[in-house]
Structure 1
Amino acid sequence: MNVLQGIAAALTPLGLLWTVLIIGLATFLHELAHYALARWQGVAVKSFSIGMGPVLLRRDWRGTEWRLSLLPIGGYVEIDGMAPVEDGMNAQGQPVYRHPTHGFARLSAWGKVAVLLAGPLMNLLLAIGLMTVTFTAQGIPAPDRARIESVQAGSRAAALGLQAGDVVTAIDGQDIPDRVTVGGAAAPGWESLRDSLGRAGSRTLSVERGGQTRTVAFDWQPTVNGQRQLLGIRYGPDVQPASVPVALGTALTTTVEAVPQVLRAFGSLFARLFTLNLSSDESVSGPIGTAQIVSQAAATSPWALVQVGVLLNLSLAFFNLLPIPGLDGGRILLVLFGALRGRPLTFSQEQAVNLLGFGLVMTLMLFVVVRDVSRFF
């Protein structure tokens, strides 16, 4: 199987369609927020495009040209007063550019920050909203309780009387904590059951069933004659029903807890870029990896697609807030720097900084695509 066949086998037409729809919606709302904050402050928006490259469809409405472009890899809004203005010709007959003095350029520093911050904030709010809907409809996973989902017939677990629906609340006489360390990384407490079954000796499980608690005691050997032993259960977190306020609170907490994880993932990506490390890293996916994840989610359930939408919007929000020139975070940094300094950078200085940032972002995107493809060699 060659590389193209491997990539094609990992994707599905339905998965590709859902990938375009999920990314398209996230992009549309991101750019719509920029558009809305600019118009709210009286700044015109010349064009609004979903997709990049050649324009397929266009329509003028309320002073803006709305476009659908060929490549479904992003989008943009052309806000009046953000692009440089041509200011005559130099001695060599080449155009000279300067900072604009109208539209966006006339806004206060906080007005500019509001326009730039609106896009990432919209993606963040969308992720929180999707999590709130999910938690309200499906419940909230309890990190300190493990629910047995199935018991294998004829297994040790079946002989001990364990049943599907039993909830394990304590292991070896100790309540399951909210967080544990598994394989050097933080994990929900219910995953400590796996670690417990990896050690030989006497084990006890406190199990809730029908409102009553019983203790299951047994001697355990993780390996016998070199063969790994299995208890014979499949388990996951116990899911508790949640009202909308509780679901919203959990969504906000989950978002805050995701910040260091996302920053570590981006840090790892930059480290791999500078060392040209193409080894597999599941924390960040490129377009092919994302489409593959969406293809798997589409084959699982609608809620799996919603979870992908949450992750994509969180990633888009945090990535755009990175202080890299060319991204929203970098533009915000330049605006605040100019406000603190009392004057903005000169046009040539700002262009040089933006060019450097744009080159870094393009290099990063190319690296992610190359790493995606390298998995199929």
Structure 2
Amino acid sequence: MNTAIAFILIFGALVFFHELGHLYFAKRAGILCREFAIGFGPKLFSFTKNETVYTIRLLPLGGYVRMAGEDPETIELKPGSKAALLLDEGGKVTKIILDNRDKYPQARVVEVEHADLEHALTIKAYEEYEDEAQIFRVSEKAQFVSGGEETQIAPYNRQFGSKTLGQRALAIFAGPAMNFVLAFLLFVIIGLVQGIPVNKPIIGELVAGSAGAKAGLQHGDVIQSINGTPTETWTDITTLIRKNPGQEITMELQRNGKSMSLQVTPAAEKEGKETVGRLGVYGPVEKSLLGSVQSGAEQTYKWTKLVFVSLIQLVTGQFSIDALSGPVGIYNLTGKVAESGSINLLGLTAALSINLGLFNLLPFPALDGGRLLFFAIEALRGKPIDRHKEGLVHFIGFALLMLLMLVVTWNDIKKFFL
């Protein structure tokens, strides 16, 4: 598989599932989600559905869900400004046209005295040639029209800050949580396709040209004993083979219901400071939905524990920052793994998804974990931290993350060319 295609698919899956978690629970809470973006920078592709603009952007550095109320609104209706109001049959404002008003001849041109588009949803304004101001009721889904683009207004009850602490926390936590869900699903798929290792004394696949293949072992052979020691599990077999590097051993086995004996000499291979025996054979596997689900859960837990320990070591200085990989490093790794097959590519995607989920849960500003930390402080204080102060902290955190990304990317580039 082409490296670029594989990288795009992996990156897209990781970001899509992460942001989908944010989007789903934000929408369930009634929050207006203005944009669902994969990537940053210039827009490559977009379409609008159910109030949300879905975009793919140029730079593969992450993604975001832009929720109403998290950032200052880009369009305001200020006193003294002129606008054209398009009304529905019930007399409610459905469009607030700020420029190119001549394109809407049926709209009513007004000069705004006061507008409340968050709570009362009203516009107090003077129509042309009228001395008395009128109050226009505004639809919850009214659109600003400016520069040829439409932007939906955000009443307070549709803003992120209007929701309960639990709803806000769930909308943020759901992003990293979906990365663990993705990893679990991928491990389940791997189990269904590849099979789940079982601890039975049966020969599975053999490596061509290996000691086991040369000695005449075959797939499906049931090993009953090695050098007279009974073998009841695959663990028994591997333990005895490891203890006899370069030494001939006698295997009693059953093949197609017939008993037979084979003389086998395990190859001697270095494993750290130790020399162990290897036959070049794999254990048996079984394919089942229940087994795959159980294996998926076990693999997800195992990788989560491994990544968590690595993050702790990074924070405590036991793990060098030079060992971290950014987009360039992941791109190179993707190319190597793609050459070994689609199953290994699925495994890499699952591992990266867990990495992304755990990294985002770190209590660092600008990350999901940093936002959850502010929610925890809010719960203890009984009131939220000032939005401007929190925003400043997240801005500094984002700048530091970008700096880290530059350092990691530079290290990746040096590794690539050295």
The alpha-carbon distance between structure 1 residues 174 and 366, as it changes in their structure 2 partners (threshold 3 A), is: farther
- Quick one: distance in 2 between partners of 1:275 and 1:138? 33
Matches within 5 A, 1:169-208: 173=229, 195-198=242-245
**Ranges in structure 2 where 5+ consecutive residues have no aligned partner:** 75-154
Asked if the contact 2:329–2:412 (Cα under 8 Å) also holds between the matched residues in 1, the reply is: yes
The equivalent position to 1:152 in structure 2, one of 209, 212, 217, is: 209
- Quick one: distance in 2 between partners of 1:345 and 1:253? 39
Asked if the contact 2:266–2:278 (Cα under 8 Å) also holds between the matched residues in 1, the reply is: no
- The residue type equivalent to 2:243 in the other structure is S
Matches within 5 A, 1:230-309: 233-242=279-288, 244-270=289-315, 278=322, 281=323, 285-309=325-349
User: Higher mean Cα deviation, 322-331 or 285-294?
Assistant: 285-294
The alpha-carbon distance between structure 1 residues 316 and 370, as it changes in their structure 2 partners (threshold 3 A), is: same
- The residue type equivalent to 1:78 in the other structure is R
Asked if the contact 1:152–1:233 (Cα under 8 Å) also holds between the matched residues in 2, the reply is: no
Structure number with bigger Rg: 2
Partner of 2:37: 49
For residues 168-223 of structure 1, give each alpha carbon's deviation from its aligned partner in whole angstroms, at most 9, with x where no partner exists.
687774869899xxxxxxxxx9875774345x778566756446787767788949
Asked if the contact 1:144–1:169 (Cα under 8 Å) also holds between the matched residues in 2, the reply is: no
1:337 and 2:377 matched = yes
- Quick one: distance in 1 between partners of 2:267 and 2:190? 39
- Quick one: distance in 2 between partners of 1:363 and 1:298? 30
For residues 247-272 of structure 1, give each alpha carbon's deviation from its aligned partner in whole angstroms, at most 9, with x where no partner exists.
11221122122222011222344456
The alpha-carbon distance between structure 1 residues 158 and 262, as it changes in their structure 2 partners (threshold 3 A), is: same
The equivalent position to 2:410 in structure 1, one of 352, 370, 376, is: 370
- The residue type equivalent to 1:130 in the other structure is L
- Quick one: distance in 1 between partners of 2:321 and 2:401? 17
- Quick one: distance in 2 between partners of 1:232 and 1:108? 59
Partner of 1:162: 217
The equivalent position to 2:196 in structure 1, one of 105, 117, 140, is: 140
**Ranges in structure 1 where 5+ consecutive residues have no aligned partner:** 1-11, 87-99, 180-188
- The residue type equivalent to 1:70 in the other structure is L
Asked if the contact 1:168–1:206 (Cα under 8 Å) also holds between the matched residues in 2, the reply is: yes
1:125 and 2:181 matched = yes
Deviation of 1:371 (Å) = 2.6
Give me the TM-score of the superposition, normalised by structure 2.
0.66
The alpha-carbon distance between structure 1 residues 20 and 150, as it changes in their structure 2 partners (threshold 3 A), is: closer
Give me the TM-score of the superposition, normalised by structure 1.
0.72
The equivalent position to 2:25 in structure 1, one of 11, 34, 37, is: 37
Partner of 2:85: none
- Quick one: distance in 1 between partners of 2:217 and 2:267? 18
Deviation of 1:117 (Å) = 1.4
- Quick one: distance in 1 between partners of 2:224 and 2:384? 59
- Quick one: distance in 2 between partners of 1:171 and 1:84? 73
For residues 146-186 of structure 1, give each alpha carbon's deviation from its aligned partner in whole angstroms, at most 9, with x where no partner exists.
74513638x68735x5345546687774869899xxxxxxx
- The residue type equivalent to 1:290 in the other structure is I
The alpha-carbon distance between structure 1 residues 265 and 195, as it changes in their structure 2 partners (threshold 3 A), is: farther
- Quick one: distance in 2 between partners of 1:174 and 1:368? 52
- The residue type equivalent to 2:174 in the other structure is A
Asked if the contact 2:267–2:278 (Cα under 8 Å) also holds between the matched residues in 1, the reply is: no
Partner of 1:322: 362
User: Higher mean Cα deviation, 252-261 or 367-376?
Assistant: 367-376
- Quick one: distance in 1 between partners of 2:258 and 2:38? 56
- Quick one: distance in 2 between partners of 1:256 and 1:220? 33
The alpha-carbon distance between structure 1 residues 262 and 210, as it changes in their structure 2 partners (threshold 3 A), is: farther
Structure with the larger helix share: 1
Asked if the contact 1:44–1:79 (Cα under 8 Å) also holds between the matched residues in 2, the reply is: yes
- Quick one: distance in 2 between partners of 1:327 and 1:131? 26
Share of identical aligned residues, percent?
28
Instruction: Identify the structure with bigger relative contact order (alpha carbons < 8 Å, sequence gap 6+).
Output: 1
- Quick one: distance in 2 between partners of 1:341 and 1:365? 34
1:19 and 2:7 matched = yes
Partner of 1:93: none
- Quick one: distance in 2 between partners of 1:302 and 1:220? 31
- The residue type equivalent to 1:27 in the other structure is V
Deviation of 1:79 (Å) = 0.4
- Quick one: distance in 2 between partners of 1:206 and 1:366? 59
The alpha-carbon distance between structure 1 residues 80 and 206, as it changes in their structure 2 partners (threshold 3 A), is: farther
